[in-house]
Amino acid sequence: MSAGAWLSGSALAVALTFAAAGALAAPAATGHASKATYEDAYRHAKTLAQQALRDDAAWTVTAPTLKQAEKAAAEGDYDHAEALADRAAALAELSMQQAKEQETAWKAAVLR
């Protein structure tokens, strides 16, 4: 097993650890969200989530985060809803970044 296999996986693992840690904490609310800004954020996140699914790169945590955003918006908490939508977008982006990286990174893990 080459060092490259560990390192390329480790680098993204660090990024994903940050993402996962952030996912456990409450999303940062700005206090400035409105229905319009939330809807923009939601549309953006939904587009990315659908792209990740089409590419077979999606994570199981992305769709539930979008659902949580919908729920918060339905309750009128646009601040929280927008923060959740932004998190869902970040998860979708990370999942596609992972898939892109793995197109080549996997080769270093092959037993030789």
Partner 1 sequence: MTRRIRMTHPLQRAVLRKAAPALACAALLPAIALAAAMATSHADDSLASSTPAEDLAAFQHYFKSTFPEVSPDDFVNGPYSMNKGMREQWEAIMQFPPYDFALAEGKKLFATPFANGKTYGDCFPNRGIGIRQNYPYFDTKRGEVVDLVLAVNLCREANGEKPLNVSKGAMASITAYMADTSRGKRFDIRIPDDPRALAAYEAGKEYFYSRRGQLNFSCSSCHVQSAGKRLRGDILAPAMGILASFPIYRSKWGSMGTIERRLVSCDSQVRAEPLPANDPMYRNVEYFLSYMGNGLPVAGPGARP
Q: Which chain residues interact with partner 1 by CB under 8 A? A: 1, 3-5, 7-16, 18-20, 48, 50-63, 89-112
The smaller minimum CB distance to partner 1, of residues 20 and 30, is found at 20
Q: How far is the CB of 99 from partner 1 (least distance, A)?
A: 8
Nearest C-alpha neighbor of 55 from the set 95, 82, 3, 17: 95
CB 51 within 8 A of CB 62: no
The smaller minimum CB distance to partner 1, of residues 1 and 35, is found at 1
Dihedral (CA of 63, 69, 72, 73) sign: negative
Q: How far is the CB of 32 from partner 1 (least distance, A)?
A: 21
Q: How far is the CB of 63 from partner 1 (least distance, A)?
A: 8
CB 41 within 8 A of CB 82: yes
Q: What are phi and psi of 15, to 5 degrees?
A: -60, -40
The smaller minimum CB distance to partner 1, of residues 34 and 50, is found at 50
The smaller minimum CB distance to partner 1, of residues 77 and 105, is found at 105
Q: How far is the CB of 86 from partner 1 (least distance, A)?
A: 10
Burial (CB < 10 A; 0-12, 13-18, 19+), residue 74, is exposed
